[in-house]
Chains A and B, each alone.
Chain A
Amino acid sequence: MSDENKIVITGLGLITSIGIGKNEFWNNLIKGQTNISPVSAYDTSEYDTHYGGEIKNFDYKNYIPEIKDKSYGLASIMGIVAAKFALYDAGLSYDKINKNRIGVIVGSTGGESKSIEIVCTHLAEQNNFTKLDKNIIKSASPSSVSANISSYFNFSGYANTIGTACSAGNYAIINAFNRLKKNEEDIIIAGGVDVFSIFAYAGFSRLKSTAPEKCRPFDKNRKGIIVAEGAGFLILETLEHALKRNAYIYAEVAGYGLTCDAFHITGSDEEGLGASKSMKKCMEMSKIKIDEVDYISAHGTGTQRNDKIETLAIKKVFGDYAYKIPISSIKSMLGHSMGAASSIEAAATCLVLKNNIIPPTINYEEKDPECDLDYVPNTMRKKNVNIAISNSFAFGGNNATICLKKLN
């Protein structure tokens, strides 16, 4: 494979509970900052837990004042702003690029959660749609998110919405990787977005998977996830294209692994077979050896089961070397932003490669004998990181791992 055919990341756009934009996000991430707080968007009194990772300081009118609410759902709005950030970060003026050679690929659990909630609630209460704006109904379709983002910028290349739940962001990056390898587009904006969803909150709560106040990945007393929201979009292009326009390159997407657990609809298989195979396939495609991996961005949701299985899977892949790799879960700070999680984590991993700083897993207080690896507890760590992998393991058994490499 020639160098020119390598796929690289040149721009990052982030909207998260710890930062709007790449710089605020990163500065807070390495400080171990969290804004997980009591949920304000909904009454959670009937649930066992009451905390969430809402983005409380995001006003889209600051970034896209021309957008009218009814024409776009919230996920589309967040996606547009994050895509705008990413394009700006990549030094791309969307007025000047070939709009027929740009792709937009969105990963999400279901697209416009808020619109879906409005539609379903309206029908339940009114038994008809007489008084509901049909644009809200139309926006409830997951297709709308990639369409709205593309149409906002007037891009007519390629657009896709992938619905593989918590691994959807990685799936979007992988879709982009494959298309760019075939020279189908010049640039692809790929990532994930999900808005805070009471459906997700209720569902995870009823599965007894939500933590009371803090997300404690890999800690012995971890109690579960914190439902959150966010958007993370990355600009991907070929190395040749990036070099031609003198773009800053965060990382090469060296390869990926996709597997399916086929075990249980909400849980990974107990021996970590699907997860370990996902990592192995990723490393095979990326042509890297186990002792070349400098960092693992964990899926690390904070549930007893997931963290144990992910630890087991990492050990299966890396053997004794597993104990030498720093592993962190930024969900400890952000909560679980569902379809956006893996793309936010990919963006964070790009910043790890750039800055040679590994963000911590916060709220880590007591070691679990079944999770005995190095999770970079509570404090960031400076380390030269050249190669990293980022895991995501979703409902439905959708496992996706990507490998990011620093380009020399």
Chain B
Amino acid sequence: MKYNYYITGLGILSAYGFDHDIFYKNILNNHLTFKEKTVNDEIFKVNQLDNFDPALILGEKGIRLYNTEAKLAISAFELAINDSNKNFSELGDDTGIFYQAILPVKSNYDFNYDRIYEGGAYVNPAQFPLILPNSIPGYAAIRKGFKGINNTICLGEASLGYCLESAIDEMNNQSIKYAFIGAANDLCDEFLLILSKLGKTNNVNSYLLSENAGFILLEKDDTIIKNQSKVYCKIASFDNGFDSNILNGKVNHIIIQKIINKVLNDANLTIDDIDLIIPDISENETTRKSIFLGLKNLLSSKESYICNTKKFIGESFTVSQLNNIFVASGIFKDKIIPASSIINFNKINDFNEINYTTNSINKINNILMITMNCFGHINAIIIQRPDL
């Protein structure tokens, strides 16, 4: 299946910057901004948006109802709209919002805390909708009058491919012409404690956690031509799948390999056409090794560039793949890959054996992104240089 979908707007909120060019350049220049945060005597290494004032992006109106995740997400959403240079006040009926979610930890915690200690009869009713994952795209839609379609995919870091799928289905059905896809990661204290208990803070990427948010705008080729939109990259193909072995802790490369082969096939490419691979390199050994073995079996002794954006950005869960797209847009332009290495999979046993540095690349047409969450949800996405 040939796709004609392009990314034409980027909005990012990160300790590395609120602009995708600045974000990319700060990562290239290793401008680490982490700090140590103590929660219940436990120390976490975090990139956090301490001084972020959403009113600077959103104005004062309406934001009092938002929790932190909503402020982050909707700010990034606004930045993506601005970046697209389109007048969306006239395009509301043709626009959809597709949100990547996990559990809104802070809102659920606060709502329950009030229920227990103030009493159920005194919980703030305005807080109730915020415990639901779909409240943020709902608020975003209200803010802009976007009446196309909203969807919320609750697969954490594996949600991007599923959001792409839903958005493209609706664009193919001609229900919408524009799709905003986004996510936010709020490093509240409660979430940090959950991550610690689950062992997720013992990650291979310098134990770094990142608070950020991002949105992309997806358009089809006919509206791009009509609007003369700037294009960051093309979605050449993607696929979503599931591996039932992962929950049992079984490393398995077969499903991953199958999915990668499918996206290559759909994009009319072979593995030799892939210039750069951005795999999800997380603390979870089962998923990390499954991705590693899947790639190893496909690449064999062929050397390949690998980029580990989490090395410098840190782990940002639902926003991770979006961060990869922001970095990829910079790579397509400047042909410099941060946090990367050229490797032969036959010579190493794990991604965490790699020394990541900055590398230049002569040719960069096709980038393969692969993600698997700890439950076994998978997606593979091939993005292409826009002028191909």
- A positions within 8 Å CB-CB of B: 44, 46-48, 99-100, 104, 108-111, 116-117, 119-121, 123-125, 127-129, 132, 134, 137-138, 140-144, 146-148, 150-151, 153-165, 171, 175, 178, 182, 198-199, 201-207, 258-266, 273-274, 277, 281, 285, 394-398
Q: Could you tell me the distance between the alpha carbons of A280 and B242 in the complex, rounded to whole angstroms?
A: 34
Q: Is the CB of B198 within 8 A of A138?
A: yes
Cross-chain pairs A/B with CB under 8 angstroms, 29 sampled: A46-B119, A48-B121, A109-B132, A110-B131, A110-B133, A134-B199, A142-B101, A143-B154, A147-B247, A147-B376, A158-B242, A159-B376, A160-B377, A164-B150, A175-B166, A182-B1, A202-B111, A202-B123, A205-B120, A258-B149, A262-B142, A262-B145, A265-B65, A266-B129, A281-B175, A396-B129, A397-B150, A398-B134, A398-B152
B139 touches A265 (CB 8 A): yes
User: Given A156-B242, A163-B132, A203-B131, do A121 and B154 touch, yes or no (CB 8 Å)?
Assistant: no
Specify which chain A residues have a CB less than 8 angstroms from the CB of B155 in the assembled complex: 142-143, 146, 160-161
**How many angstroms from the CA of A132 to the CA of B198 in the assembled complex?**
11
- Which of B4-12, B189-197, B305-313 forms contacts with chain A? B189-197
Tell me the minimal C-beta distance from B137 to chain A in angstroms: 7
Given contacts A127-B40, A147-B375, contact A260 B150 (CB under 8 A): yes
Indicate with 1 or 0, residue by residue over B97-116, a CB within 8 angstroms of chain A CB atoms. 10001110000110111011
B165 / chain A contacts, CB cutoff of 8 Å: 178
Q: Are A129 and B197 in contact (CB under 8 A)?
A: yes
B130, closest chain A residue (CB): A265
Contact B113 A265 (CB under 8 A): no
Q: Are A395 and B129 in contact (CB under 8 A)?
A: yes
CB distance from B281 to the nearest CB of A (A): 19
Which of B117, B153, B196, B255 has a CB less than 8 Å from the CB of A124? B117
The answer to whether A141 and B375 touch (CB under 8 A), given A151-B248, A396-B134, is yes
Q: Count how many pairs of residues, one from A and one from B, have CB atoms less than 8 Å apart in the complex.
A: 238
Contact of B247 among A47, A104, A148 (CB under 8 A): A148
> What is the CA–CA distance of A132 and B197 in the complex, to the nearest angstrom?
9
Task: Give the Cβ gap from B163 to chain A, nearest Cβ, in Å.
Answer: 11
Q: Name the contact of B152 in the complex, choosing from A140, A144, A164, A198 (C-beta under 8 A).
A: A164
Given A46-B121, A124-B117, A156-B255, A162–B142 Cβ distance below 8 Å? Answer: no
Known contacts A123-B193, A258-B175, A396-B138, A128 near B40 by CB under 8 Å: yes
**Chain B positions within 8 Å of A277 at CB level:** 147
Contact call A158/B128, Cβ cutoff below 8 A: no
Report chain A residues within 8 Å CB of B373: 143
Which of the residues B113, B142, B255 comes within 8 Å of A397, measured between beta carbons? B142
Q: How far is the CA of A111 from the CA of B248 in the complex (A)?
A: 20
Q: From A142, which residue of chain B is reached at the shortest CB distance?
A: B154
Q: Is B119 within 8 A of A144, CB to CB?
A: no
B59 located at the interface, meaning its Cβ lies under 8 Å from any Cβ of chain A in the complex: no
Task: Mark B residues whose CB is within 8 Å of A.
Answer: 1, 40, 65, 92, 96-97, 101-103, 108-109, 111-113, 115-117, 119-121, 123-125, 128-129, 131-135, 137-139, 141-142, 144-156, 158, 162, 165-166, 169-170, 173, 175, 190, 193-194, 196-199, 240-245, 247-248, 255, 258, 373-377
List residues of chain A with CB within 8 A of the CB of B175.
258, 281
B302 to chain A, nearest CB (A): 27
B42–chain A nearest beta-carbon distance, Å: 9
Contact: B147 with A124, CB < 8 Å? no
Pair B241/A157 contact, Cβ less than 8 Å: yes
Residues of A within 8 A of B193 (CB): 123, 128-129
A142, B103: Cβ atoms closer than 8 Å: yes
Cβ–Cβ contact B197 & A165, under 8 A: no
B376 touches A151 (CB 8 A): yes
Q: A116-B108, A141-B154 are in contact. List 14 more A-B contacts (CB 8 A).
A: A120-B108, A120-B109, A124-B117, A137-B198, A140-B103, A141-B156, A147-B242, A151-B376, A160-B155, A163-B132, A203-B111, A264-B142, A265-B135, A266-B128
Contact B244 A110 (CB under 8 A): no
Contact B133 A158 (CB under 8 A): no
Residues in B neighbouring A124, C-beta threshold 8 A: 109, 112-113, 116-117
Contact of B141 among A132, A175, A258, A397 (CB under 8 A): A397
Min distance, Cβ B247 to any Cβ of chain A, angstroms: 5
CA distance A65 to B158 in the complex (A): 31
Q: Contact between A260 and B96 (Cβ–Cβ < 8 Å)?
A: yes
Contact call B117/A144, Cβ cutoff below 8 A: no
Which listed residue, A150, A171, A203, touches B242 by the CB 8 Å rule?
A150
Chain B's closest residue to A398 (CB) is B150
Among residues of A, the one whose C-beta sits closest to the C-beta of B148 is A260
**Closest residue of B by beta carbon distance from A395:** B129
**Complex interface: chain B residues within 8 A of A263 (CB):** 142
Query: Which chain A residue shows the least CB distance to B195?
Result: A137
B365 to chain A, nearest CB (A): 26
Distance of A260 Cα from B144 Cα, bound (Å): 12
* Pairwise interchain contact A395-B146, C-beta atoms closer than 8 A: no
Chain B residues near A161 (CB-CB < 8 A): 153-155
Bound form: Cα–Cα A277–B198 in Å: 44
CA of A129 to CA of B189 in the docked complex: distance in angstroms? 13
Taking CB as reference atom, which chain A residue is nearest B146?
A262
Known: A162-B152, A164-B151. A198 touches B135 (CB 8 A): no
For B125, the chain A residues whose CB sits under 8 A away are 203, 206-207
- State how many angstroms separate the Cβ of A107 from the closest Cβ of chain B: 10
* Residues in A whose Cβ lies below 8 Å from that of B142: 262-265, 397
- Closest A residue by C-beta to B258: A100
Q: Which of A100, A142, A203, A265 contacts B102 (CB 8 A)?
A: A142
